[in-house]
Amino acid sequence: MPNGDVELFRIGVLAQALHRKAYTLVQWEKQNWISKPSFLVHGRGREKMRFYSAQQVIAANRLIVERHSGKTRFRDASEFRDFLVSLDRELWLGAEVAREGRK
């Protein structure tokens, strides 16, 4: 996008990319299993609107499809933990840093 603008998507779009429900991602965030969103806007009352960049949504989908074969369930807690670590790295540190960490 021109002028450094960033296209943002609500948590529901990220949830679809991960084959999950938005509620699940909010729970992961509350449990500190994933980091808080990069863009958080306070709405009416206590409502928080979570936004993610297009790059984050694409990286999340690529992670679940390519590295985890589109799984919605994992064999054990260890596999799930590995997924969450990878997700956090891909979304919040960026794809470039994540690639360096895999070497």
What does the pLDDT profile of the chain (103 residues) look like in tens digits?
456 777 889 999 999 988 889 999 999 888 888 877 878 888 788 778 888 888 888 888 888 888 777 777 788 888 888 888 888 877 766 644 334 444 4
What is the amino acid identity at position 101? Answer: G
Instruction: Reduce the DSSP state of residue 39 to 3 states and report it.
Output: strand
Q: Considering only CA atoms, which of 18, 15, 11 is closest in space to residue 72?
A: 18
Fold of 2-102: Multidrug-efflux Transporter Regulator; Chain: A; Domain 2 (1.10.1660)
Domain boundaries, the chain: 2-102
- Other Cβ atoms within 10 Å of 102 Cβ, number: 8
- Other Cβ atoms within 10 Å of 31 Cβ, number: 9
The pLDDT value recorded for residue 12 is 92
Measured distance between the N- and C-terminal CA atoms of the chain, rounded to whole angstroms: 31
| DSSP conformation class of 4 | G
Residues 79, 48 contacting (CB under 8 angstroms): no
pTM strictly above 0.75: no
The pLDDT value recorded for residue 97 is 39
